[in-house]
Amino acid sequence: MATPYTRRNFLKTSSVMAVSAAGGLLTVGCGGGDSGSDELLPLVNPYYTQAVHGPYERISIGRLELAEGGVLPNCELAVATFGTLNADKSNAILIPTWYSGTSKIMEQVYVGPDHALDPSKYFIVIVNQIGNGLSTSPHNIGGALGGPNFPKVRISDDVRAQHRLLTEHFGIRSLALVVGGSMGAQQTYEWAVRYPDMVKRAAPLAGTACNTEHDFLFTKTLKDALSSDPGFDAGRYDLPEDVAAGLGRHAKMWTVMGWSTEFFRLNRHRALGFDSLRAFVDGFMIPYFAPMDPNNLLAMAWKWQRGDVSLLTGGDKAAALGRIKAKVFVMPFSTDMFFPPSDCLAEQVLIPNSAFRPITTVDGHLGLFGTDADAIAQVDLNLRELLALPA
Ligand SMILES: CCOC(C)=O
């Protein structure tokens, strides 16, 4: 097996094949000879590919100025579409993605002829959020903005980028529905507040419009779990495997907060095929996050912490939520420990034309992954009702 190259060495060679510790082949971009600079090259991580997450198409929306002052010179969004846009372009549904997720899990769990999100009726556009590894992200941008130098991206930046994509690339000016889970819910709220005339219906699942201090702290501990690993090396690690300890701690914290105490008391992990909590952590939670790029996760975590629609209204949450013209079903998951129903209800009462539709499940926040078929059936029932409401 070839000695795995480190990224720093790539600048000295035009193009190399490296073999990751996991045995996957990593193909790196051309180094352009020995530039002598310490720029990071884009690294093709085998996890963030069509083979794992396809089909999707990478569409450039050009230069994206960011709310925090940075810029993405050429922002590319990875997009998966299902169904056909009708003649008057009135049947478009947008689905943004959540932390660590891609368009693939949204397709697998929420889209299909047996779901409310039925491609035979709607043109469904799933847009991968910036930083998630398929769209422009720390691990794939390369150059001076690569890795730890990736600029700070906010929820509003994703939503403006998605708006440019839909209006300029697809010619879509009306959305029958925007629906997303967790960080996808944060983007859903941002869409409904920022573009009230475009969004006809909105369904935030297991997420809030304004992140809470508790959730900010939870996400800070996730970030610390990654960055405190010496292998992280201030974000200049070579491969995710170099940060395996941090990714493992991050996975264990997700195990604690992402499910629920009921989930374990009722042995739901056994129902999922794991005969112990330890086996569930070692066999599912750690392997799920292990191939992911830590700088990508940190970029999304920074964004997640600062989800706040009131930035548009000088900090006035009621004014922001009052801007919404869409019909809204607020759909928390009943045992969610970081976007609890109580936090979601406190926002829903501020939204005109809205209803509070909690989803009953013992699987907590990560019930979003589709582990509880009944929870997804409840989501479908509510989405069918919402889609049947007149715009
Ligand atoms: C699992 C998805 O979680 C978030 C915060 O997006």
Min mean pLDDT across 26-30, 152-156, 161-165 is at 26-30
Q: Domain for residue 257, yes or no?
A: yes
DSSP-derived letter for residue 326 is S
Q: How far apart are the first and last CA of the chain?
A: 59
ipTM of the complex: 0.97
d(CA 58, CA 165): 11
Structural domains counted in the chain:
1
Provide the mean pLDDT of the chain: 91
Residue type, 295: N
Q: Which residues pair with 93 in a beta bridge?
A: 124, 177
Structural domain span for residue 121: 50-388
Element spanning 385, H or E: helix 373-388
Per-residue pLDDT, averaged over 185-214, amounts to 98
Domain CATH code at residue 160: 3.40.50.1820
Mean pLDDT of 204-211: 98
- pLDDT, residue 39, reads 60
336 is catalytic: yes
369 lines ligand 1 (CB under 6 A): no
Q: Point out the catalytic residue in the list 157, 336, 343, 363.
A: 336
Token match 């930083």: residue?
131
Residue 219 domain flag: yes
Ligand 1 center–CA 4 separation, angstroms:
32
What is the position in ligand 1's atom list of the atom closest to the CA of 258? Answer: 1
pTM, full prediction: 0.91
User: Is residue 16 in a domain?
Assistant: no
Residue that wins the pLDDT comparison between 20 and 125: 125
Q: Which residue in 278, 274, 287 sits closest to 248, CA to CA?
A: 287
Please tell me if the CB atom of residue 183 comes closer than 6 angstroms to any atom of ligand 1.
yes
- Residue type at position 177: L
Establish if 115 belongs to a structural domain. yes
Starting at the edge strand that comes first in sequence, how are the strands of the sheet with 43-44 ordered? 17-19, 25-28, 43-44
**Residue 126 forms beta bridges with which residues?**
80, 95
- For residues 344-372, average pLDDT: 98
Residue 372, C-beta contacts closer than 8 angstroms, at least 6 positions apart: 361, 362, 363
Task: Note the pLDDT of residue 26.
Answer: 41
Our answer on whether the CB atom of 304 is closer than 6 Å to any ligand 1 atom is yes
Residue 44: its pLDDT value, please?
72
pLDDT value of position 40? 61
Give dist(CA 362, CA 45) in Å, integer: 34
Tell me whether residue 374 is one of the annotated catalytic residues: no
Tokens read off for 82: 């299902």
Cα(68) to centroid(ligand 1), Å: 22
Whether residue 142 is contained in a domain is answered as yes
Domain presence at residue 35: no
Q: What is the pLDDT of residues 278-314, one digit of tens each?
A: 999 999 999 999 999 999 999 999 999 999 999 999 9
Q: Per the domain annotation, does 17 fall within a domain?
A: no
How many whole angstroms from 353 Cα to the centroid of ligand 1?
26
Residue 32: inside a domain: no
Distance CA 100, CA 48 (A): 11
